[in-house]
Chains A and B, each alone.
Chain A
Amino acid sequence: MTKQNNNDPYVRFINVKKSYDQKNLVVKDFNLDIRKGEFVTLLGPSGSGKTTCLMMLAGFEDVTSGRIMIDGSSVVEVAPYHRNIGMVFQHYALFPHMTIGENLAYPLKVRKIPAKEIARRVMETLDLVELGAFEKRYPGQLSGGQQQRVALARALIFEPRIVLMDEPLGALDKNLREQMQFEIKRLHESIGFTAIYVTHDQTEALTMSDRIAVFDDGVVQQCATPEVLYERPANAFVADFIGENNHIEGTVRSIAGDLARVELSDGTLIEALNINCPDIGEPCRISIRPENLFIDQPAPARINSVSAEFVLNLYIGDSIHYYFKLGSGTEIMVKVLNDHESPKITAGDETHLSWSADRGLALDRPV
């Protein structure tokens, strides 16, 4: 095969391990295949090893064991400056003593590209990030968002094989962050580079990625598309880390196919999707998204129903969060769209919460 098939993995992490002190593993047996042109996000809490993986791919950290392949050849022994990987840093890392134009020209200059060609490409790339008028300015004279766009342009201008982004929007405020997410997504769609993105912000990961690898404690917990991660998390950690979730503790009574019957502490029997449910008789956890619960609806409409006491509601704006307490003391939050159908109840009222079987997930109970 000479021609790259679009479904072949372009970047491969194979059994990659990393340890700084030869005792504790920061990254444990990391495996990930990334297709050409894919936008993959490494998501996880800080210290979960996601940035280390990125640095190993970029060549700034040694690989303790395992292999990293790009386009079919190992890059472990290749120096960072020969890997041809563009990188965007959290604090931009724009060279403060060079103008924006000089910053962009730098990767082309070290590649000994003729000056005329450099000038053309610098202007072209600056126009791409809509900063054409800023060529002669210094990074210090630009706002955070503009600096980040320059950093992005600099990482793209030499047409690298892969673009790595290490929490690139971490230093920006919320509005600017959303704007930049859109900007990065737009550039990715129009240029089609392979992108690996590191973040600890789950919304950012969900909105931008083709696939997300959720990291915890040096291990990939799940690697899937945003929809799958949100709706079918592989375990309790992923369910908890992505989006908001309600947890109800219970005991497994029977398992039939992909449905599990679970008895709650007050004796109520409910049905839930079996994700990684433990054996019969073992304790488990039911996980339900706040928007999948319904307040005080007739029982036949949904399979599962529990009685709950209303505590208070929080007015968010586009939605209202209702807080309930179960007999066992478990707190449940229900998210209701703020339309004319949002229920009116007073504190202390007893009511029923119901949900359909395929919206409740039966998971293991993390210790």
Chain B
Amino acid sequence: MEPTRQPEQMSQTTLTRDEVREGRKKLRRRRRVAFLFVVPLLLFIFIAFIAPIGTMLYRSFYHPIVSQLIPQTIEKLSDWDETGSDPPPADTVRTFAIELRALATERRSGKLAEQVNRFRPGSSSLIKSTARKLKRMKPETLEQEREILSGINPLWRQARLWRAIKKSGVIVTDTFYLTALDLTRDVSGEIKGRETKVYIKLYLKSLKIALYITLLTALIGFPLAYYLATAPTRVANVLLVFVLLPFWTSLLVRTTAWIALLQTNGVVNSTLEFLHIIDQPIEMLYTQFATIIAMTHILLPFMILPLYSVMKGIDPSYLRAALSLGAKPLPAFVRIYLPMTTPGLAAGALLVFIISIGYYITPALVGGTEGQMISNIIAFHMQTSNNWELAAALGSLLLILILVIYWVYDRMVGVSNIKFG
């Protein structure tokens, strides 16, 4: 009896090989189907998110234009010692002259002038005029003449200009990051600070403005969210529509409304003058004040909604329990209710802070020069100065800054505690 019963018992407690294979096959099939469902999302994330950010990061240090325009010159310049005061050897200069003439005939010398100008301001016109003169010369003269460039302009004898050309020819470079951090390299290649701190100041100002906006939205949003959460459903629903209303109107309309309110002859000034509170209109538009107040208005829902959803979930019996235990209303509120709203407050603050630090349109419209933020200078480098590499470096630094803030926030509040609603 025993030997015949054994395999039967085995089949009851363990799976046969076929059953295991069948089970694995089903599992794989399920995974495949599940994966197919998320493919569109993954594609979208890649195209709309990962690829652009990747390109931006890449552009901020990869800079091949100059080495594509004058490849031979750049190659020859790599042997030249730029720390000295001598210009490069005649052979290198001749190669440059030939390449510059070739560019000039193709009408592309302007591009080179623009690139080199970034490393040595003022050299644009020199390169352009030299290119014009070279164009008129015969190629044979370039081969024979010894002092061809210095003949056109003595500035070509200076090592500084060639240094700028060599620098602009470096393909993988940290120059843009250094510029974005207000740093520069001196002749010997050592990193030093620049006298005028443009970008650091702007980053700090953006942080400051974002902080003000976060504090203001929290101050305004907290009581409102509390009222919304405790009001009767009918009243709360009506009020919630007013909170959401800004979401349904165009951002541009809301911002221009602030222009109408704040300008010199705007609603606020004329009302104050009519009430004889002021004699002279106050300059409010195109200031930091305008940026802060308009953005507070725009970002307020991002603070109210997470706060509201968290407060809505807090059982009123907590406060009642505190009162029944003998705590007076205000201490009970501070000690019991307030800590329970932290997840909402944290979520709202994080949302508002991160959105506002990279905000563009509102500071651009109402901020003037004083109310500009870092994103406005990024846009300037994208659209006006055409320095995409610097824009990319500034943008990457902004991204890093936000990630650092997020990390610090996580250490302080704990991102898992955050509740967005």
B327→A93 contact, CB < 8 A: no
Q: Which one, A91, A97, A107, A164, contacts B325 given CB within 8 A?
A: A107
Compute the total of residue contacts between A and B using a CB distance below 8 Å.
Answer: 63
When distances are taken between beta carbons in the complex, the residues of chain B under 8 Å from A58 are 320, 324
Is B234 positioned at the interface, with any CB of A under 8 Å from its CB? no
**Is B323's CB under 8 angstroms from A93's CB?**
no
- Inside 8 A of B325's CB, which chain A residues have their CB? 81, 86, 106-107, 110, 154, 158
Q: Give, as a whole number of angstroms, the nearest-CB distance from A37 to chain B.
A: 20
Q: Is the CB of A87 within 8 A of B339?
A: no
Interface size range on A against B: 20 to 34
Chain B residues with CB under 8 Å of A60's CB are 320, 323
State whether B326 touches A107 (Cβ < 8 A): yes
The prevalent SS among residues of B at the interface is: helix
B340, A96: Cβ atoms closer than 8 Å: yes
CB neighbors of A among B328-380 (8 A): 328-329, 331-332, 335-336, 339-340
CA distance in complex: A83, B335 (Å): 20
B44 within 8 A of A: no
Residue of chain A at shortest CB distance from B318: A93
Out of B321, B331, B335, name the residue touching A93 (CB < 8 Å).
B321
A59: B residues at CB distance < 8 A: 323
User: Would you call A158 and B320 a contact (CB within 8 A)?
Assistant: no
A111 touches B326 (CB 8 A): yes
Collect the chain B residues with CB atoms within 8 Å of residue A84's CB. Answer: 326
Interface size on B, residues (CB 8 A): 19
Residue-wise, chain A 78-107 has the 8 Å CB interface mask toward B (1 for contact) of 011111111101110101110000000011
Q: Kindly report which residue of chain A lies nearest to residue B314, judged by CB atoms.
A: A96
Q: Is the CB of B327 within 8 A of A89?
A: no
B321 touches A89 (CB 8 A): yes
B317 interface hit (Cβ, 8 Å): yes
Query: In residues 304-325 of chain B, which contact A (Cβ within 8 Å)?
Result: 315, 317-318, 320-325
Alpha-carbon distance A155/B324, docked complex (angstroms): 9
- Complexed CA–CA distance, A155 and B326 (Å): 11
Contact call B336/A95, Cβ cutoff below 8 A: yes
Chain B hits for A106, CB < 8 A: 322, 325, 327, 335
> Nearest 8 pairs between A and B by C-beta?
A107-B325, A93-B321, A87-B324, A93-B317, A89-B317, A80-B323, A97-B339, A110-B327
12 contacts between A and B (CB under 8 A): A81-B324, A81-B325, A81-B327, A81-B329, A93-B321, A95-B336, A97-B339, A97-B340, A106-B322, A106-B325, A106-B335, A154-B325
